[in-house]
């Protein structure tokens, strides 16, 4: 049904770069799959005399028979007009002004149609590199479609007559599983380098491939990501690696040389260290995260970032020790060095960086298992995360003398058995007698 529609429209060359209407008999989108709150926003905008459409990823996912995570709306109403219609809304953003309409924990994002403009427009501002700094220029539905990033996201559904407006090429790309950028790829990536991350994310999430012209500039333009605000990149990396497709996404980031601008120290270690321990460790951490997400279990960015930065922390600590620093200060210095450098690229909030450091610090404390220490460690708020981290280290090939198995058994025993385990450990590893230092000889004075 959809394929026949595509063939019909692609045989009309003059229509291929224009939005066309697809009636309800020729698409898969149904109101049954749409959030009740999103429909409420659509109907109120339409009843107030405005155009309003579900737009982007939610329409794309419904067309692919997937359940959308979010519902976004595009309209000809300005942010101020939207704000007046919804008391439960607020205007956010400076570069692009959008409206969040809040229904409990669900947020419906409403955006005014973007328009085309020239550089002299007061609401349009670009950096020397071509990146858009401000772009609150409004236009028509056709203008807005041209401003969308990829053909598969330039799709608009209206509850007025249940039609979809889309490019025929976009519908074909959905069928062919292709990510294709709208317009000149290099120009669009310069306007917003995050589009490169979005291309990779959609390719991994949907199992699509990048069209050749969309793919070609990414490797050379990836350094432009260093111009993006570190706080924004923190959110973008979470979207990339905490989508349930983290392993596939990481492989694409590596393939397109995007790791270096995001995680420079991690990239440096992975490139310089000969064995594959760190690469295996990160792969297993991402697999663990994917498994938890796909099983609807909780995950924390602190654990993921702790894993991603572990190669740099461990290598820096080793270097500090080789330079003569005592073990504990060497590790603490390494943690501070890595975080100080990383936040210049990706701003990790303290609510995550503090638990990250605790996970790292516990890797130093877990081997120290005297009776009191073992019990204290087992009740530490970050123990479970640190224990999982320890198991990943061993699984990746790090030799820790059965430390993970010991802590696994320790958690499965009662209080008396734990005391026995600690006592057995003491007997099998008796403390070495410390050599007494001979006091220095008194220097005889010459008579």
Residue 149 annotated as catalytic: yes
As a whole number, mean pLDDT of residues 404-413 equals 92
Q: Is residue 76 among the annotated active site residues?
A: no
Could you tell me the domains of the chain?
1-176 (3.30.460.10), 277-427 (1.10.3090.10)
Neighbours of 347 (CB within 10 A): 15
pTM of the model: 0.84
pLDDT of residue 416: 86
Least confident of 173-177, 245-249, 328-332, 438-442: 438-442
CA pair distance 77, 387, nearest whole angstrom = 52
pLDDT the model gives residue 371: 73
DSSP annotation of 151: G
Instruction: With cut-offs at 50, 70 and 90, classify the pLDDT of residue 439.
Output: low
Choosing from 61, 135, 144, 149, which is the catalytic residue? 149
User: How far apart (Å, rounded) are the C-alpha atoms in residues 165 and 154?
Assistant: 8
Gap between the Cα atoms of 133 and 365, Å rounded? 47
Residue 70 falls in the annotated catalytic set: yes
Task: State yes or no: pLDDT of 305 exceeds 60.
Answer: yes
User: What's the pLDDT score for residue 431?
Assistant: 52
The pLDDT of residue 419: 87
- Residue 423: the pLDDT is 85
pLDDT at 96: 79
CA atoms within 13 A on the CB side of 383: 16
Highest averaged pLDDT of the listed ranges 95-99, 111-115, 220-224 = 220-224
Selecting among 70, 143, 257, 388, the annotated active-site residue is 70
- Which of the residue ranges 146-155, 212-221, 372-381 would you say has the lowest mean pLDDT? 372-381
- The answer to whether the beta carbons of residues 189 and 36 sit under 8 Å apart is no
């Amino acid at each position: 049904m959809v394929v026949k529609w595509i063939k019909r429209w692609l045989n009309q060359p003059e229509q291929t770069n224009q939005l066309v209407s697809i009636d309800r008999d020729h698409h898969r989108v149904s109101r049954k799959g749409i959030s009740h709150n999103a429909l409420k926003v659509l109907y109120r905008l339409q009843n107030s005399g405005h155009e309003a459409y579900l737009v982007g990823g939610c329409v794309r996912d419904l067309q692919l028979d997937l359940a959308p995570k979010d519902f976004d709306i595009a309209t000809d109403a300005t942010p101020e007009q939207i704000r007046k219609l919804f008391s439960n809304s607020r205007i956010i953003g400076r570069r692009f002004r959008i409206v969040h309409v809040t229904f409990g924990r669900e947020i419906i994002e409403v955006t005014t149609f973007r328009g085309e403009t020239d550089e002299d427009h007061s609401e349009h501002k670009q950096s020397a590199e071509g990146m858009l700094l401000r772009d609150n220029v409004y236009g028509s539905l056709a203008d807005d479609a041209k401003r969308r990033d990829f053909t598969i996201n330039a799709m608009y559904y209206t509850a007025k007559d249940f039609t979809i407006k889309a490019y025929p090429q976009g519908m074909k790309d959905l069928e062919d599983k292709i990510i294709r950028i709208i317009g000149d790829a290099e120009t669009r990536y310069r306007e917003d380098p995050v589009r490169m991350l979005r291309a990779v994310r959609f390719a991994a999430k949907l199992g699509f491939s990048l069209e050749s012209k969309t793919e070609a500039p990414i490797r050379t333009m990836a350094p432009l990501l260093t111009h993006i605000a570190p706080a924004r990149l923190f959110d973008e990396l979470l979207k990339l690696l905490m989508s349930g497709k983290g392993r596939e996404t990481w492989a694409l980031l590596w393939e397109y040389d995007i790791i270096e601008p995001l995680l420079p120290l991690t990239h440096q270690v992975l490139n310089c260290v000969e064995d594959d321990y760190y690469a295996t460790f990160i792969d297993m951490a991402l697999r663990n995260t994917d498994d938890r997400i796909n099983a609807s279990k909780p995950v924390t960015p602190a654990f993921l970032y702790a894993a991603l930065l572990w190669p740099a922390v461990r290598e820096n600590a080793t270097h500090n020790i080789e330079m003569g620093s005592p073990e504990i200060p060497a590790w603490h210095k390494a943690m501070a060095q890595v975080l100080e450098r990383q936040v210049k690229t990706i701003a990790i909030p303290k609510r995550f960086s503090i638990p990250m450091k605790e996970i790292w610090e516990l890797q130093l404390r877990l081997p120290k298992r005297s009776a009191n220490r073992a019990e204290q460690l087992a009740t530490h708020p970050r123990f479970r995360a640190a224990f999982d981290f320890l198991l990943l280290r061993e699984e990746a090939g790090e030799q820790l003398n059965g430390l993970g198995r010991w802590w696994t058994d320790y958690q499965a025993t009662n209080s008396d058995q734990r005391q026995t385990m600690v006592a057995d450990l003491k007997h099998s590893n008796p403390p070495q007698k410390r050599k007494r230092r001979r006091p220095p000889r008194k220097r005889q004075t010459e008579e």
